[in-house]
Amino acid sequence: MQFGKEEDNVSASDESEKREKKKKKKEKMGYEKKMDRSQTIQRQPLGPPTPAEKNSWRFVMLQDVKVEASRTLLRCVHFHPISMEIDLLFPSIILVREECKRSKLRVKAEKRAAKFEDRMGGREECRILSECYREKKKSADVKERENYYRRNGYASEEEERLRAEGRWMCAELSERDRDTDKQERRERIRDSRYNRKYEKCMTDDVPVYLGRESAKERKMMARFRCGNEERENRYWTEGEERRCRMYHEESETIEHMWSGCGEMRAREGKERRELLSEEGREIGWMKEIWKRRERIEKERDGVRK
């Protein structure tokens, strides 16, 4: 009987050791516990790419739209000097990238890969490294690389010839890729049903208001310009959910809140471009809207109680 107990103790200790090893292995590989969407975004923003991601052509050609969108937004918030608190809606994410003039992760990762190839092309004295590089070019990554060159107007053979002539392709490829990404981004904004009027306040460079010292004002301006403060943009909802939060008789749009809302004082009509100018001239009006909404919501909550 004693022998049986010892055997049970040994097997239990073996199981605990195995669990500990698995736990350490997961931690070593950067394993993150599964959390709900809001917790992940608030507590675990994505850090810089791992070494494996930096040299991986497969990583940069992300096929899952949702993963790509969430990573793009998180990196935009994490690396840009402001945290804009934009609603996590896929149409908003495209507008955030346009507002901050941020390229996709693909553009940056492919730029790193092209720069690596440029450097390798001029370092034949590193025999072992050069051999590894040649073997890598024969691998399954070739198709991704060819797609990258084709998207930027080069055939793979032409790119090899230019490199052989000693021409560095990194700067030219990254510039073309950035332009291509910008065109694709703006086409998607034009085709989107969300905040169709964003084009009226679109800028070629980073908007001036992003240089403001007040983080609250930057967030406020970004939300108004990207359409998060207009319930009319929520085309997937109906009726009450799209009406003005202050004056429930009409749809909530920038134009309505400026001159048609019964809760706001009467103003002369202005174009959308002026109201949402990149300098933020009407920031006082935006602050007033936020205060009125907060007051009205408190009054409604008091009535319900």
More confident residue, 6 or 103: 103
pLDDT by residue (tens digit) across 205-256? 888 888 888 888 888 898 898 888 888 888 888 888 888 888 888 889 888 8
Residues 247 and 186 both lie in one domain? no
Residues 49 and 175 both lie in one domain? yes
Residues 177 and 48 both lie in one domain? yes
In the chain, what's the furthest Cα-to-Cα distance?
Answer: 94
Residues 51 and 184 both lie in one domain? yes
Within-domain flag for 22? no
More confident residue, 193 or 152: 193
Residues 214 and 282 both lie in one domain? yes
Which residues, 6+ apart, have CB-to-CB distance to 223 below 8 Å? 84, 85, 86, 229
Residues 140 and 278 both lie in one domain? no
pTM above 0.75, yes or no: no
Number of domains in the chain: 2
Within-domain flag for 123? yes
Residues 160 and 217 both lie in one domain? no
Residues 211 and 170 both lie in one domain? no
- Whole-angstrom distance, CA of residue 213 vs CA of residue 205: 19
- End of a domain among 128, 158, 192? 192
Within-domain flag for 115? yes
Within-domain flag for 32? no
- End of a domain among 151, 171, 192? 192
Domain span holding position 168:
44-192
- Whole-angstrom distance, CA of residue 184 vs CA of residue 196: 16
Residues 124 and 147 both lie in one domain? yes
pLDDT by residue (tens digit) across 105-135? 555 666 666 666 666 655 555 566 666 666 6
- End of a domain among 166, 192, 218? 192
Within-domain flag for 222? yes
Q: At what angle do helices 105-121 and 142-151 cross, to 10 degrees?
A: 110
102, with CB counted inside 10 A (0-12, 13-18, 19+), is buried
114, with CB counted inside 10 A (0-12, 13-18, 19+), is buried
